[in-house]
């Protein structure tokens, strides 16, 4: 096997495809690059055919932290379960690959994408589809390739579309559209957008289809080089599950019975009738026939149900629940559904019911992301749970499955463009959507329920968001676009196309398409029909809660934002965190201080305001002319130290404690006394000089009780006893002997027992 490399430039980016050197024992392997970002994609097809009635395809994408020069966190120091981003990337690879394999393919296929280098400039996700397509092709696997995936961004100033934009370009883009498919049709779509119009989205999709075709052409050039070096690529023969005419004819003879069983608006009732019919049809086969044709019988029974449902729609225009193609199921909306929680909303459409709950928290509760992408984390989080009971089944409860992660990400993406900034709303926001019952499009119900919960919590979203799922039936040369599809129409239809947005434009989309004849006209019809549907749903929501509540609920934390000088941060924190802990313990509030001096305070029932006042007092610098009621916290022979604010003392000189001459400060003041003072001076070192307001008269004889510069004694502060002291030169008086009226000059030559320097 000879190593082959094909390098090319497209849309301003450099790419490379390489095979023949790594992972040569796999069925096929390809190294794909964009810039320096490098991913190894391998494909292995099992030698034996599995006894399944479905195609067993598995796709894995495991982020390798060495790709960005980091060691994984945690005790084991190795990659554990995939991150949400890794799961979403694996789904993105799977979705275009799955419909490209022939019907009846039952050999197990595993595709593994291993990112080796992530250059933090070019994303590694979209190129994986091209790598998988190349690996399958050089491995001789039969599928409808080549396939490719592109990300389309847009410069909001010029309107120019960008193909596979860098992370920096994506930061300024108002569109993030991922498309995958072949040169002639789109099979997978994911989009996030800042409320762009349907026309702009259609233009982006058309441009993306052209870009996919360009990458497919480059793949063909790579395959030509491969064949020159290693000989012709021969498609391997795999035994397919072929229809057995006798089984088909006997089962499809019950077409009318299946059509009758499907006509029931209640999901569980309809499923019961269909399963009972299937069992009765299956019983017509002998035990030997069932053993011989078990897989074929299961496939044909599924095919009978699919054909009956689809023919009903295209021939009569009626769906299994009696609706017309554009009709939306009955809607129920209940905001403020739960007590005490910060926000909640119940949304029901037909037999799909979702309860969404919003929780508000401090900004330091944001979710940190440990991925190979240059993204630290996020402050708006949406989680989606799909328990077994929502479909009337039993099952294991545990960590979320790929489908739950994907649906939660879609609803999160739908609302992200309308979430207020940190400056507007300094909270971390988490919404959890609990699916209570499901019969199609629970992700769109989650989007609507989340909008209700956010508005109920008082989150000032820019505009409310609603969503609807569209379907497609192409049968016997006829095409019907369906609004608000239910589970059966998703499972047996040709397209699942979800669209979310506001009155201004689209915020998110997701599409899985099995139909190769999806023309621009059909896409336009689907988007316009979706617009009508989501506006209808939005009106129903706004009837119950027309706007976000003006205030958060009492149970939600009130978050106050302050800005303090950075040189005051240490004062608020205190030695070993003593001060900030004391504030939190005393008030019950939570305090978070940022490096730039931004302080976020969260608390309920006035706790936040109390903590804010404490912090303001700590960082407050008294100014000349301000008046305070302070407490005497220290007494020296030359005056009293008065606490103006927590940690802020000023010197009230002995000459200013009373009217007239005072020999001892204690004759007028004692520790603990409250006194009204005015700030006279704040020197360059922050030392504060005070004057007493409403001075009392000096006690009689106070000025003649031995306050003498030269008597060689001073009175002890604690005991009042005299103690000898050294004589000083008259020109070198200490603080205690100064009798000037300039209080600002005192206390600088001798360190008092208590430190009271203003910080």
Tell me the binding residues for Mg(2+). Answer: 490, 496
**d(C-alpha 262, C-alpha 282), whole Å:** 18
* Known binding-site positions: 490, 496
Residue 82 DSSP code = P
* Integer Cα distance of 474 and 307 in angstroms: 11
515 class by beta-carbon count within 10 Å (0-12 exposed, 13-18 middle, 19+ buried): middle
Q: 330: which DSSP letter?
A: P
Taking the CB of residue 146, how many other CB atoms lie within 10 A of it? 23
What distance in Å separates the CA atoms of residue 194 and residue 414, rounded to the nearest whole number?
9
Residue 154's beta-bridge partner residues?
Answer: 161
Q: Please state, in angstroms and rounded to a whole number, the distance separating the CA atoms of residues 61 and 116.
A: 12
Asked whether 11 and 17 are in contact (CB, 8 A), the reply is no
Q: What is the DSSP string of 723-755?
A: EE-----TTS--GGG---S-GGGTTSSS--SS-
Alpha-helical runs (H) found in 416-472: 442-456
Residue 76 exposed, middle or buried by CB count within 10 Å (0-12, 13-18, 19+): exposed
Which residues lie closer than 8 Å to 566 by C-beta, 6 or more apart?
Answer: 595, 596, 597
CA distances, 616 to each of 256, 258, 444 (Å): 79, 74, 46
Q: CB neighbours of 729 closer than 8 A, spacing ≥ 6?
A: none
How big, in percent rounded to 5, are the helix, strand and coil portions of the chain?
35, 30, 40
Alpha carbon dihedral 129, 167, 444, 150, in 10-degree steps, equals -30
Nearest to 130, CA basis, from 55, 183, 67, 86:
183
In order of 222, 655, 657, 727, the CA distances from 736 in angstroms are 93, 11, 15, 12
- Spatial separation of the C-alpha atoms in residues 379 and 398, rounded to whole Å: 24
Distance in angstroms (rounded) separating the CA atoms of residues 112 and 82: 13
Q: Measured between alpha carbons, how far is 278 from 257 in angstroms, rounded to an integer?
A: 10
User: Does the N-terminal peptide bond of residue 146 adopt cis geometry, omega within 30 degrees of 0?
Assistant: yes
Strands 175-181 and 186-196: what pairing? antiparallel
Distance CA 704, CA 708 (A): 9
């Amino acid at each position: 096997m000879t190593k082959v490399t094909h390098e090319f430039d497209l849309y301003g980016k450099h790419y490379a495809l390489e095979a023949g050197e790594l992972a040569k024992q796999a069925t096929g392997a390809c190294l794909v690059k964009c810039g320096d970002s490098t991913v190894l994609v391998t494909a292995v097809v099992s030698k034996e055919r599995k006894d399944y009635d479905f195609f067993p395809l598995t796709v894995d994408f495991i982020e390798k932290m060495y790709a960005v020069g980091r060691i994984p966190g945690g005790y084991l120091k190795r990659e554990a379960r995939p991150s949400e981003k890794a799961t979403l990337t694996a789904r993105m690879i799977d979705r275009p690959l799955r419909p490209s394999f022939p019907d009846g393919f039952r050999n197990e296929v595993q595709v593994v994408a291993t990112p080796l280098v992530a250059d933090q400039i070019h994303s590694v996700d979209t190129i994986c589809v091209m790598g998988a397509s190349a690996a399958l092709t050089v491995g001789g696997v039969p599928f409808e390739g080549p396939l490719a995936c592109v990300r389309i961004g847009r410069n909001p100033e010029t309107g120019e579309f960008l193909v596979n934009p860098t992370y920096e370009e994506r930061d300024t883009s108002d569109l993030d559209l991922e498309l995958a498919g072949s040169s002639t049709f789109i099979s997978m779509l994911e989009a996030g957008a800042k409320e762009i119009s349907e026309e702009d989205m259609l233009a982006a999709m058309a441009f993306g289809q052209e870009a996919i075709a360009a990458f497919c052409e480059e793949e063909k050039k790579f395959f030509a080089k491969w064949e020159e070096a290693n000989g012709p690529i021969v498609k391997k023969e795999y035994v397919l599950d072929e229809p057995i005419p006798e089984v088909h004819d006997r089962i499809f003879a019950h077409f009318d019975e299946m059509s009758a069983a499907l006509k029931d608006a209640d999901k569980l009732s309809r499923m019961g009738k269909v399963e009972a019919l299937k069992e009765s049809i299956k019983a017509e086969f002998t035990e030997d026939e069932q053993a011989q044709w078990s897989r074929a019988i299961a496939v044909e029974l599924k095919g009978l149900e699919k054909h009956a449902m689809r023919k009903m729609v295209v021939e009569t225009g009626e769906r299994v629940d009696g609706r017309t193609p554009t009709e939306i199921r009955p809607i129920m909306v209940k905001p403020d559904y739960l007590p005490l929680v910060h926000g909640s909303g119940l949304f029901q459409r037909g037999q799909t019911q979702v309860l969404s709950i919003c929780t508000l928290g401090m900004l330091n509760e944001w979710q940190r992301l440990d991925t190979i992408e240059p993204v630290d984390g996020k402050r708006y989080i949406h989680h989606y749970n799909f328990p077994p009971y929502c479909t009337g089944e039993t099952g294991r409860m545990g960590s979320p499955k790929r489908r739950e992660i994907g649906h939660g990400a879609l609803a999160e993406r739908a609302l992200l463009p309308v979430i207020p900034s940190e400056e507007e709303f300094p909270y971390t926001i988490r919404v959890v959507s609990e699916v209570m019952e499901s019969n199609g499009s629970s992700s769109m119900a989650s989007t609507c329920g989340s909008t209700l919960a956010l508005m109920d919590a008082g989150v000032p979203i820019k505009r409310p968001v609603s969503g609807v799922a569209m379907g497609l039936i192409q049968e016997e040369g006829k095409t019907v676009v369906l609004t608000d599809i239910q589970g059966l129409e998703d499972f047996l239809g040709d397209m699942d196309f979800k669209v979310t947005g506001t009155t201004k434009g689209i915020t998110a989309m997701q599409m899985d398409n099995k139909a190769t004849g999806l023309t621009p006209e059909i896409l336009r019809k689907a988007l316009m029909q979706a617009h009508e549907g989501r506006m209808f749903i939005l009106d129903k929501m706004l009837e119950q809660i027309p706007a976000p509540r003006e205030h958060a609920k009492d149970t939600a934390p009130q978050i106050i934002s302050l800005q303090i000088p950075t040189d005051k941060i240490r004062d608020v924190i205190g030695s070993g965190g003593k001060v900030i802990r004391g504030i939190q313990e005393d008030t019950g509030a939570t305090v978070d201080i940022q490096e730039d001096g931004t302080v976020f305070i969260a608390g309920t029932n006035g706790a936040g305001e109390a903590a804010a006042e404490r912090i303001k007092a700590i960082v407050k610098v008294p100014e000349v002319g301000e008046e305070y009621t302070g407490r005497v916290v220290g007494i020296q022979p030359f005056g009293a130290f008065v606490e103006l604010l927590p940690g802020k003392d000023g010197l009230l000189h002995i000459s200013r404690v009373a009217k007239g001459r005072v020999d001892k400060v204690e004759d007028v003041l004692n520790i603990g006394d409250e006194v009204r003072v005015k700030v006279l001076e704040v020197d360059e070192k922050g030392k504060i000089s005070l004057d007493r307001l409403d001075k009392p008269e000096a006690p009689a004889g106070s000025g003649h009780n031995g306050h003498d510069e030269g008597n060689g004694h001073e009175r002890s502060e604690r005991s009042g006893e005299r103690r000898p002291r050294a004589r000083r030169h008259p020109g070198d008086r200490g603080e205690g002997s100064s009798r000037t009226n300039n209080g600002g000059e005192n206390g600088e030559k001798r360190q008092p027992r208590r430190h009271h320097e203003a910080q």
